[in-house]
C-alpha cells in the first residue's frame, strides 16, 4: 500500500464546462463517482494517444 500511495500525486484540473457536465451525466448514468469517471476518461485518452487503441 505504501508503494501505491507514493505513486499518487494530487493534481488540480480545470475542465471546460461541457466536458465537466458530460462526465457528471455519464457518472450518474453508470452509477460511478465523478472522480472514477474522470480517471476512466483520462486512461482512455492515454490509450488512444499512445496507440494502444486504434482510432
The per-residue pLDDT for range 10-41, each reduced to its tens digit, is 888 899 999 999 999 999 999 999 999 999 99
Domain boundaries, position 21: 17-55
Confidence tier at 5 by pLDDT (50, 70, 90) = low
How many domains does the chain divide into? 1
2 within domain boundaries? no
- Nearest residue to 21 (alpha-carbon basis) of 5, 2, 34, 10: 34
Q: What is the pTM of this model?
A: 0.67
4 within domain boundaries? no
1 within domain boundaries? no
| pLDDT at residue number 13 | 85
Q: How many CB atoms lie within 10 A of CB 34?
A: 13
| pLDDT at residue number 27 | 95
Amino acid at each position: 500500500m505504501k508503494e501505491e500511495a507514493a505513486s499518487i500525486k494530487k493534481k488540480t484540473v480545470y475542465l471546460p464546462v461541457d466536458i465537466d457536465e458530460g462526465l457528471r451525466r455519464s457518472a450518474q448514468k453508470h452509477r460511478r463517482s465523478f472522480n472514477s469517471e474522470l480517471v476512466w476518461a483520462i486512461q482512455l485518452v492515454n490509450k488512444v494517444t499512445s496507440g494502444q487503441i486504434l482510432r
